[in-house]
Structure 1
Amino acid sequence: MSLYQVLEYHMEAFGAQKKCLKRSTDEQRTRATSPERCREVAVTHIPERPGQSDMERSLAFLS
């Protein structure tokens, strides 16, 4: 295999990767319908667990 053939092979492989990458980013843009993909996720409040409503017990849990 000549140097030219090796170079041509690698350039074709790089071109294929570039096309694949472009196609995948285009697909991601068009399929961004879920809130996670659109970065519109609401922050939910997690209430305190009933078993750890006591402040001393809560602090003991952290240490």
Structure 2
Amino acid sequence: MNENQKVYRRFVLRAFEDHHQDIVRALAWCQLHFYSLLKIERDAIQQLSSRERNAVISEILLVNK
């Protein structure tokens, strides 16, 4: 996992935990609150490909089965 993926993972994982492991609600929250992140975090996430973002989400779901 690269550094940008780790930034995205922390962001999604916080939301995932706050929304009681409901990934749909967590991702919706992330989308609505993306601009509340620091610019450096937003830049890191924007540099990720769809495949890299999907890998992060997949890893979160597999670990939290």
Largest Rg, 1 or 2 = 1
TM-score, normalisation: structure 2: 0.28
Question: Which structure shows the bigger proportion of residues in helix conformation?
Answer: 2
